Amino acid sequence: MIKEGDVVTLWIDPKRVYLIKVKPGKKFSTDKGAIELDKIIGLEYGSEVSLSTGHKGYLLQPSLVDIYNGLRRPSQVLYPKDIAYMIYTSGIKPGDTVLEAGTGSGFLTISLAYYLGEKGKVITYDVREDMQEIAKKNVEYLNLSNRVVFKLKDIRTGFDETNVDAVFLDMPDPWNAAKAAYEALKPSGTVVVFVPTTNQIEKTAIALKNNNFIDIHAEELIIREYQLKENAIRPKNIGVIHTGYIIRGRKSLKSGS
């Protein structure tokens, strides 16, 4: 049941999908009509609602894809396809503690907090206070603040934590953070790195190897969405053809290291 303070997805049609924070007395407007938020409190998720114009909409529990589309983000954020694979291959599970650098607009932060659940913890670092303020607001908006710790610090000189379950790096020079990631991780823990260029793949892979990471892999994912018109199934013509590369490695306790 929808209650005050919830974040709700209003789905009108494929091009009109909105995130709404439910506050009494407020109204949410779209080019297809408005909806008074008082009226949706107490409704069941999935419900059909009529906008002021008579158009229909549906109230849904926000998925991470809705959040991806609806989030305030001054900088480019990681794509769902990449985050999904980064989380899956990181070996993390509900209740774990993970590190992230940099915070950016906070979409990976939110995805991690979502996955780790109520007992999980994301400690996220950035060097830019202005960016982290936006991420903080995004996390608060989604009622996830109790799972996230924000820190302003250049982690290339070291994280504050040790023995964490995984480290996620989305920064320009992750090779300069390989040592810091190694020291912060529990043995057997995974570092997952996202980089946009092939030059960064090379530098990152070398740095991970030199810092006693093993099982190092670099992969890229290409996604194509299909047009679902009857008798005319095909991928959409124009879209994102490149985001970046995902590199991961696991901390080994090499003898002599």
Query: Are the CB atoms for 242 and 81 separated by under 8 Å?
Result: no
Nearest to 170 by CA among 236, 96, 111, 237: 111
Smallest gap from residue 118 Cβ to its own copies (A)? 7
- Residue that the structure tokens 């989380």 belong to: 87
Which amino acid is located at 228 in the chain?
L
Quickly count: other Cβ atoms within 10 Å of residue 107's Cβ.
24
On the 0-12 / 13-18 / 19+ scale of CB atoms within 10 A, 15 is exposed
Nearer to its own copies, 6 or 125 (CB): 6
Smallest gap from residue 120 Cβ to its own copies (A)? 8
Smallest gap from residue 137 Cβ to its own copies (A)? 22
Quickly count: other Cβ atoms within 10 Å of residue 143's Cβ.
12
Smallest gap from residue 2 Cβ to its own copies (A)? 10
Tokens of 112: 């991690």
Q: Which residues pair with 16 in a beta bridge?
A: 13
- Distance set, CA 27 to CA 23, 65, 88, 150 (Å): 9, 24, 38, 32
Nearer to its own copies, 25 or 239 (CB): 239
Nearer to its own copies, 160 or 173 (CB): 173
Nearer to its own copies, 31 or 44 (CB): 44
Nearer to its own copies, 149 or 216 (CB): 216
Smallest gap from residue 129 Cβ to its own copies (A)? 27
Tokens of 88: 């899956």
Q: List the strands of the sheet with 56-60, edge to edge.
A: 16-21, 7-13, 56-60
- For 219, phi and psi rounded to 5 degrees? -140, 155
Nearer to its own copies, 133 or 215 (CB): 215
Nearer to its own copies, 118 or 133 (CB): 118
Tokens of 10: 């209003």
Smallest gap from residue 239 Cβ to its own copies (A)? 5
Smallest gap from residue 207 Cβ to its own copies (A)? 12
